[in-house]
Amino acid sequence: MSQDDLKDKKIDIKVDEHIAVGQYSNLAAIRHSREEFIFDFAFIFPDGPMGKLVARVILSPAHAKRFAEALDSNIKRYEELFGPIVPADIPPGVGFIQ
Protein backbone atom coordinates (compact mmCIF):
# COMPACT_ATOMS: atom_id res chain seq x y z
CA MET A 1 0.00 0.00 0.00
CA SER A 2 1.48 3.35 -1.02
CA GLN A 3 1.50 6.61 0.95
CA ASP A 4 -1.13 7.98 -1.48
CA ASP A 5 -3.40 5.01 -0.75
CA LEU A 6 -3.07 5.70 2.99
CA LYS A 7 -4.01 9.37 2.54
CA ASP A 8 -7.35 8.33 1.04
CA LYS A 9 -8.19 5.89 3.85
CA LYS A 10 -9.35 6.69 7.35
CA ILE A 11 -7.28 4.78 9.88
CA ASP A 12 -8.42 4.51 13.48
CA ILE A 13 -5.43 4.25 15.79
CA LYS A 14 -6.10 3.21 19.36
CA VAL A 15 -3.85 4.82 21.96
CA ASP A 16 -3.41 3.56 25.52
CA GLU A 17 -3.72 6.33 28.11
CA HIS A 18 -0.13 5.96 29.36
CA ILE A 19 1.10 6.42 25.77
CA ALA A 20 -1.22 9.39 25.10
CA VAL A 21 0.19 11.25 28.12
CA GLY A 22 3.60 11.31 26.44
CA GLN A 23 7.13 11.46 27.79
CA TYR A 24 9.40 14.46 28.25
CA SER A 25 12.90 14.04 26.88
CA ASN A 26 15.87 16.41 27.17
CA LEU A 27 18.39 14.15 25.43
CA ALA A 28 18.18 12.08 22.26
CA ALA A 29 20.63 9.65 20.72
CA ILE A 30 20.38 8.59 17.09
CA ARG A 31 22.15 5.53 15.71
CA HIS A 32 21.76 3.58 12.52
CA SER A 33 22.70 0.42 10.72
CA ARG A 34 22.10 -0.46 7.09
CA GLU A 35 18.58 -1.68 7.91
CA GLU A 36 17.30 0.73 10.57
CA PHE A 37 17.54 3.99 12.47
CA ILE A 38 17.26 3.87 16.26
CA PHE A 39 16.05 6.94 18.14
CA ASP A 40 16.59 6.79 21.92
CA PHE A 41 14.92 9.50 23.98
CA ALA A 42 16.08 9.99 27.57
CA PHE A 43 15.45 12.25 30.52
CA ILE A 44 18.63 13.37 32.26
CA PHE A 45 17.99 14.39 35.86
CA PRO A 46 19.21 17.93 36.63
CA ASP A 47 20.55 17.05 40.10
CA GLY A 48 23.08 14.46 39.10
CA PRO A 49 24.69 12.31 36.48
CA MET A 50 21.67 10.03 36.19
CA GLY A 51 19.14 9.55 33.46
CA LYS A 52 16.41 7.27 32.25
CA LEU A 53 15.58 6.03 28.76
CA VAL A 54 11.93 7.01 28.26
CA ALA A 55 11.36 5.81 24.69
CA ARG A 56 13.03 4.00 21.82
CA VAL A 57 11.71 4.26 18.27
CA ILE A 58 13.11 2.08 15.48
CA LEU A 59 12.45 3.11 11.88
CA SER A 60 13.38 1.83 8.46
CA PRO A 61 15.68 4.19 6.52
CA ALA A 62 12.77 5.26 4.28
CA HIS A 63 10.56 6.03 7.29
CA ALA A 64 13.43 7.88 8.99
CA LYS A 65 13.82 10.11 5.93
CA ARG A 66 10.06 10.83 5.82
CA PHE A 67 10.18 11.57 9.57
CA ALA A 68 13.05 14.04 9.05
CA GLU A 69 11.15 15.75 6.22
CA ALA A 70 7.97 15.95 8.32
CA LEU A 71 9.92 17.35 11.28
CA ASP A 72 11.57 19.96 9.07
CA SER A 73 8.18 20.98 7.66
CA ASN A 74 6.68 21.26 11.15
CA ILE A 75 9.59 23.36 12.43
CA LYS A 76 9.15 25.75 9.49
CA ARG A 77 5.41 26.10 10.22
CA TYR A 78 6.15 26.61 13.93
CA GLU A 79 8.64 29.38 13.15
CA GLU A 80 6.16 31.05 10.78
CA LEU A 81 3.65 31.21 13.65
CA PHE A 82 5.90 31.90 16.64
CA GLY A 83 9.17 33.22 15.24
CA PRO A 84 12.56 31.59 14.87
CA ILE A 85 13.85 29.03 17.32
CA VAL A 86 17.28 30.26 18.39
CA PRO A 87 19.93 28.27 20.27
CA ALA A 88 19.62 30.62 23.26
CA ASP A 89 16.08 29.24 23.74
CA ILE A 90 17.51 25.76 24.34
CA PRO A 91 18.34 25.11 27.98
CA PRO A 92 21.95 24.10 28.77
CA GLY A 93 22.53 20.38 28.91
CA VAL A 94 19.81 19.58 26.40
CA GLY A 95 21.06 17.95 23.30
CA PHE A 96 21.43 15.16 20.82
CA ILE A 97 24.03 12.47 20.56
CA GLN A 98 24.80 11.35 17.01
CA-nearest of 44, 45, 40 to 28 is: 40
Q: Give the pLDDT mean for 36-59.
A: 92
Domain that holds residue 77: 29-84
Q: Residue 55 in contact with residue 41, Cβ under 8 Å?
A: yes
**What percentage of the chain has pLDDT greater than the value 90?**
62
Evaluate the CA torsion angle 59, 62, 63, 65 in order and state its sign: positive
Instruction: Report how many domains make up the chain.
Output: 1
Q: What H or E segment, with its residue span, contains residue 29?
A: strand 27-32
Indicate whether 38 belongs to any domain.
yes
Question: Is residue 3's pLDDT more than 80?
Answer: no
Question: Is residue 36's pLDDT more than 90?
Answer: yes
CA-nearest of 98, 96, 94, 97 to 45 is: 94
Indicate whether 74 belongs to any domain.
yes
